[in-house]
Homo-oligomer: A and B are copies of this chain.
Amino acid sequence: MKSRIMKQFLMALSGLCVIAALVIPTAMVNASAPTVKDAGIASVQTSEEAEKKAKYVFLFIGDGMGVAQREAADLYNDAINNAEARPEANTLVMNTFPAQGMTTTYDLSSIITDSASAGTAMATGHKTISGTINMDPKFSEKYTTITETAKKNGWKVGIVSNVSMDHATPAAFYAHVATRKDYYHIALQMSRSGFDYFAGGGLLDASKGGFIPATDYFTDRGYKLVNTAEEFNKLSPADGKVYFTNPGLQDEKSMKYAMDTDGSAVTLAQMTTKGIEMLNNDTGFFMMVEGGKIDWSCHANDAAASIVDTLAFDESVAAAVDFYKQHPDETLIIVTGDHETGGLTIGFAGTGYSNYISRLKEQDDSYVAFNEKLAAFKKATPKATFDKVIPMIEDGFGIDILSDKEYKTLTDAVAKGKAKGAVDADKAAGKEASAKLEMATTPSERLILENSFKASMLSSADRAKITDVSLLYGGYEPLTVKLTTLINQKSGLAWTSYSHTGVPVQTSAIGVGAEQFNGFYDNTAIYTKMMDISGLSN
């Protein structure tokens, strides 16, 4: 992951310049945000302020991105770029925004929302049940989205996501369906939206559900379909309505994890920048940008993949901040999560008060990329024993799988080095052994990996018979999920779930009306505040 790290470092540096530019205005906002005492001045000012509306509105949704996901990305960025850096370096652009609020995310089914109802809350201001997009719980009423309203008011609208474009979060900004699984009709509604710019992943059901491939509808309705980076780079507003599908997709028609890319795909930040170019006009525009695979990697309890994707998401926020700096009096940028996923925290029973987040850099592949290698291994050598997969584990995660004897030799050396009256050679050998143990398995960790390997080598029918299988592996590839869990724990991170959680998420804002996003409020208020600040009317 070394070359990527350098790239991220350079990107972070450019992010820091943005931060430096933002620090002073932030302080000014704080100093000049009094509880006004003189009613005369206050009323004059309020009516003056009432004239000031945001006509360029960005809504960034980190799917599954809660407080812990943001902080883990921030700490990791600090740790890998400068071991001596203190966390106050605050390399995340979104953390520098002057307004920061806490947002509750529950829906009508549960304290724990899904992305469909959470997207509905933010796009329309309505609560609904899990799985439903922009309709009431009885599917009798369609709720109007802010994007539809924006379009009706003459604004341009763009939807960007690194997962499939018919997935719940992007769909919540253009579709109305009883169930998020209705991918074919979601795609048809996307083609009918008339929105100006779609960019990201593919479509999950472009043809199976109907007689005519959904992509044909896009062409019929005047969309230019673009599938290569070269064509994408040449896009200009003269091309009209566009749907760009990124090349080199990964699981479920989504873009590759940022940690898996070879640099040939277009990044979320580049799609954001191009979106600004395509949408910019004097009347106004609304752009929703989703970091969708933060959620997917958190479901799989893969912290490294989630962190690198959060950093890529933050780069896309930086792209919007570049635009904001040119139009500070007309732009509003909001960054939020639709819910937290996985119950991530920055602390693990086995590491106590210590934290070793930089150890995550040893992980070279996302869980999806490792799964692909494991599938090939299983196909080639279906009867293979655990020792055969060890080189792949050591290569992919930097974890040394020790035999009980090797483990004992190392722990004995550590004890000898720490013993009273140890000679210098013993001390040195003890330190060396201690360093080797950092990324090595204990006997019980080895056992867990060995058992999960056996489960991975079973047929899915036999795997389903394992006691507590869903609790153990959450439906994921057993060996892979135990490997990500282990490297997370060695890094001082841990998870409680393979699902979403009900912990409130952090919302950040900068620009016109941003101060409305301070405080503690529900996700439906994100819609209300955006409507108020933009002055859009239904």
State the A residues within 8 Å of B (CB): 26, 28-38, 41-42, 44-46, 48-49, 52, 67-68, 71, 75, 86-88, 90, 95-102, 104, 106, 109-112, 114, 130, 340, 343-350, 352-355, 357, 444, 467-468, 470-471, 474, 492, 494-504, 506, 508, 512, 515-516, 518-520, 522
Q: Chain B residues with Cβ under 8 A from A98's Cβ?
A: 518-519
> How long is the Cα–Cα vector from A343 to B71 in the complex, in angstroms?
14
Minimum Cβ distance to chain B for residue A344 (Å) = 8
The answer to whether B95 and A499 touch across the interface, beta carbons within 8 angstroms, is: no
The answer to whether A496 and B33 touch across the interface, beta carbons within 8 angstroms, is: no
The answer to whether A348 and B353 touch across the interface, beta carbons within 8 angstroms, is: no
The answer to whether B498 and A349 touch across the interface, beta carbons within 8 angstroms, is: yes
Q: Which of B46, B96, B349, B503 contacts A345 (CB 8 A)?
A: B503
Q: Which of B33, B34, B471 contacts A349 (CB 8 A)?
A: B471
Q: Chain B residues with Cβ under 8 A from A357's Cβ?
A: 111
Q: Chain B residues with Cβ under 8 A from A497's Cβ?
A: 345, 347-349, 352, 494
The answer to whether A496 and B35 touch across the interface, beta carbons within 8 angstroms, is: no
> How long is the Cα–Cα vector from A68 to B344 in the complex, in angstroms?
11
A29-B35 CB under 8 A given contacts A99-B518, A494-B496, A496-B494: yes
Minimum Cβ distance to chain B for residue A453 (Å) = 20
List the B residue with the shortest CB-CB distance to A87: B106
Q: Chain B residues with Cβ under 8 A from A67's Cβ?
A: 67, 102, 503-504
The answer to whether A349 and B45 touch across the interface, beta carbons within 8 angstroms, is: no
Oligomer: number of copies:
2
The 8 tightest CB contacts between A and B, nearest first, are: A347-B501, A343-B345, A494-B496, A346-B502, A518-B518, A33-B33, A34-B49, A347-B497
> How long is the Cα–Cα vector from A67 to B506 in the complex, in angstroms?
10
Q: List 5 A-B pairs, Cβ < 8 Å.
A: A32-B42, A67-B102, A100-B520, A130-B353, A492-B502
A sample of 9 more A-B contacts (CB under 8 A), given A349-B496, A518-B518, is A30-B515, A34-B52, A37-B49, A67-B503, A100-B101, A111-B355, A112-B347, A343-B348, A444-B468
Q: Chain B residues with Cβ under 8 A from A522's Cβ?
A: 88
Minimum Cβ distance to chain B for residue A475 (Å) = 10
Q: Which of B34, B97, B355, B512 contacts A110 (CB 8 A)?
A: B355
Minimum Cβ distance to chain B for residue A342 (Å) = 8
Minimum Cβ distance to chain B for residue A298 (Å) = 11
The answer to whether A71 and B503 touch across the interface, beta carbons within 8 angstroms, is: yes
A520-B496 CB under 8 A given contacts A71-B503, A111-B87: no
Minimum Cβ distance to chain B for residue A405 (Å) = 17
List the B residue with the shortest CB-CB distance to A36: B32
Q: Chain B residues with Cβ under 8 A from A33's Cβ?
A: 33-35, 515
List the B residue with the shortest CB-CB distance to A347: B501
The answer to whether B499 and A353 touch across the interface, beta carbons within 8 angstroms, is: yes
Minimum Cβ distance to chain B for residue A200 (Å) = 25
Q: Chain B residues with Cβ under 8 A from A35's Cβ?
A: 28-29, 32-33, 512, 515
Q: Which of B99, B110, B494 contacts A343 (CB 8 A)?
A: B494
Q: Which of B44, B104, B109 contacts A88 (CB 8 A)?
A: B104
Minimum Cβ distance to chain B for residue A451 (Å) = 14
Q: Which of B30, B353, B467, B471 contacts A350 (CB 8 A)?
A: B471
> How long is the Cα–Cα vector from A506 to B31 in the complex, in angstroms?
21
List the B residue with the shortest CB-CB distance to A43: B32
A114-B353 CB under 8 A given contacts A31-B46, A67-B503, A345-B501: yes
Minimum Cβ distance to chain B for residue A404 (Å) = 12
A95-B520 CB under 8 A given contacts A36-B32, A346-B111, A503-B71: yes
